[in-house]
């Protein structure tokens, strides 16, 4: 397994904090802060697409 470099947590008020990480094999990871051993993984391109779609409002119905 490659070494994951985790970003600082993204936290909402009264909500769980999420962390995004990457490795040198072009993989991206999302985990709950404090539970980084259990993560969701995909390619960095998939993470880019997810972030772009969220910024474009495609997940607003979840708010």
Q: Residue 40's closest CA among 31, 32, 52, 48?
A: 31
Give the Cα separation of 14 and 16 in Å (integer). Answer: 7
d(CA 19, CA 35): 9
Q: How far apart are CA 25 and CA 63, in angstroms?
A: 33
Q: What pTM was estimated for this model as a whole? A: 0.81
pLDDT digits (tens), the chain, 63 positions:
569 999 999 998 777 899 999 999 999 999 999 999 999 999 999 999 999 999 999 999 988
């Amino acid at each position: 397994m490659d070494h994951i470099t985790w970003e600082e947590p993204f936290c909402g008020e009264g909500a769980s904090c999420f962390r995004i990480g990457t490795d040198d094999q072009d993989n991206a990871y999302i985990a709950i802060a404090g539970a980084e051993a259990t993560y969701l993984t995909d390619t960095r391109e998939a993470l880019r697409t997810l972030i772009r779609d969220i910024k474009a409002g495609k997940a607003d119905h979840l708010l």
